[in-house]
Amino acid sequence: MSFQCEMFDPSVVHGQSCGCGSHAVSSNSGEARLGEVVRSAVLRAAFPQAAHRRALLKSLGAATLGAALSQFFPLEMATALAADAPGPLEKPKLKVGFIPITCASPIIMAQPMGFYAKYGLDVEVIKTAGWAVVRDKSLNHEYDASHMLSPMPFAISLGLGSVQQDWQIPAIENINGQAIVLSNALKDRRDPKTWKGLRFGSPFDFSMHNYLLRYYLAEAGLDPDTDVQIRVIPPPEMVANLRAGNIDGFLGPDPVNQRAVFDGLGFIHILSRDIWDGHPCCSFSTSKAFIAENPNTFLALSRAIIDATGYANKAENRKEIADAIAPANYLNQPPIVVEQALTGVFADGLGNVIQQKLRAGFDPFPWESFGVWILTQMQRWGQLKGEVDYAAVAKSVLLATDARTQMEGLGLVAPASNSKTFVVMGKTFDPSKPAEYLASFPIRRS
């Protein structure tokens, strides 16, 4: 970061955008900027005379001076303390969109359970009919931020099936929590190799559901584009379509899966954690423009979301959350259905009560390797063509470094690295070798 900004000039009001324009708020700057603000404040306190301070800066350089200061002043702690007060909110009244599914639990519950209010925000959470409408209302800035499927901010940032706008993910919402549900008529056809000709529902083309379903089918030797039909059906309409016989099954979000069981229409074939344990599903996302224009509001908002997500991850809070988000204003589902999806004690539709505590999880950390995997699948199914700088795109969309700062500030355990390897259906994914990974699949479009 350069010094044209006069970061250490006492005339500049810190805590707001620095005004030079060149680095108003860049993608990963939240943490870095906060650190600088605190460092400059300490510097000002230690050397109150501006001329003296500038001379020192000039001769030693900011980094050296900062390092020297940190010897006798706990800069880290001061930064953490400052993190509790993000400065005046540019826009305290916000609109946040959501689709009525448990993936959005933290975003939804933050309203009735007071997480937004705790950070000084007055947020209206608006129920939306489908992902295309979420995308359009977000792009139109009718929503300040929104619940989105994790691949959507990538599609929007890359201009795939959308106008190009820079979109970012300050926090992942949930991991696992999806399932393949089949109609009762398929109780004796559990082997996916026998599924040729079936019709499946998926919530959106740019969804983890679509990629996981395709992955699962392709592992069984079926080409998801020619051997079966995959139809886009918004989650709220999946159960009605299963009942009507429009589809034979779906890889859907909860509580839709559990609702199909609850109404005696279908059964849970597998949970999505059986495909990839710990996969991301939905994200909390907003535009880069919103972050640039409202840095303090964004900070408060992402803290509220990360705080709520951390709370949602604790098993003992799940029942309370189910009761908070089941009413008509939010999910509009019977509480018992939401509770089964969140607690992992559930009827499977085949007469068994299953205990699987890891059915749904909430982990805000936006691993950059998740993004790299999503990009490989976008390429695999022909959504994304040509050369891709996997790491750069993942880094620009997923704000992992910022999320770590916020998580640590809130006392949550954040991982030390921004990337990790993981296993999908027995195959290890190494984020440093995406092209090799892509090439290893026999069934692919590119």
| Interface with another protein, residue 159, by CB under 8 A | no
**Is residue 129 near another protein by the rule CB under 8 A?**
yes
Judged by CB under 8 A, the stretch of 190-198, 258-266, 394-402, 416-424 that binds another protein is 258-266
Q: How far is the CB of 310 from another protein (least distance, A)?
A: 24
What is the Cα–Cα distance from 446 to 444, expressed in whole angstroms? 6
Nearer to another protein, 351 or 411 (CB): 351
Site size toward another protein (CB under 8 A) is 42
Which residue among 23, 137, 199, 433 contacts another protein (CB under 8 A)? 137
The first and second tokens of residue 95, run together, are 């609109």
**81: number of Cβ within 10 Å:** 12
62 and 431 Cβ atoms separated by less than 8 Å: no
CB of 92 to another protein, least distance (A): 17
For residue 164, state whether it binds another protein (rule: CB under 8 A).
Answer: no
Rounded to an integer, what distance in angstroms lies between the CA atom of residue 356 and that of residue 87? Answer: 43
Question: Would strands 175-176 and 360-361 be described as parallel, antiparallel, or unpaired?
Answer: antiparallel
DSSP alpha helices (H): ranges in 277-385?
A: 288-293, 295-313, 318-325, 335-343, 368-380
**Cβ atoms within 10 Å, residue 355:** 10
Is 178 in contact with 277 (CB distance < 8 Å)?
no
Q: Residues 355-374: x/- map of binding to another protein (CB under 8 A)?
A: --------------------
Closer residue to another protein (CB): 351 or 426: 351
User: 104, 98 in Cβ contact below 8 A?
Assistant: yes
9, 90, 142, 430: which one contacts another protein (CB under 8 A)?
142
Q: For residues 262-321, which are near another protein according to CB under 8 A? A: 262-264
- Selected range binding another protein among 2-10, 130-138, 152-160, 203-211, rule: CB under 8 A: 130-138
CB of 136 to another protein, least distance (A): 5
Q: What are phi and psi of 100, to 5 degrees?
A: -70, 75
If binding is defined by CB under 8 A, does position 125 make contact with another protein? yes
Dihedral (Cα; 434, 440, 443, 445), 10-degree rounding: 40
The span from the CA of 96 to the CA of 144, in Å, is: 6
Residue 332 touches another protein, criterion: CB under 8 A? yes
259 binds another protein (CB under 8 A): yes
Binder among 11, 63, 71, 328 for another protein (CB under 8 A): 328
- The single residue listed with the structure tokens 């409202």 is 294
* Pair 149, 160: CB distance under 8 Å: no
Interface with another protein (CB under 8 A): 100, 111, 124-129, 132-133, 136-137, 139-142, 236-237, 239-240, 243, 259, 261-264, 327-330, 332-334, 336-337, 340, 345-347, 351-353
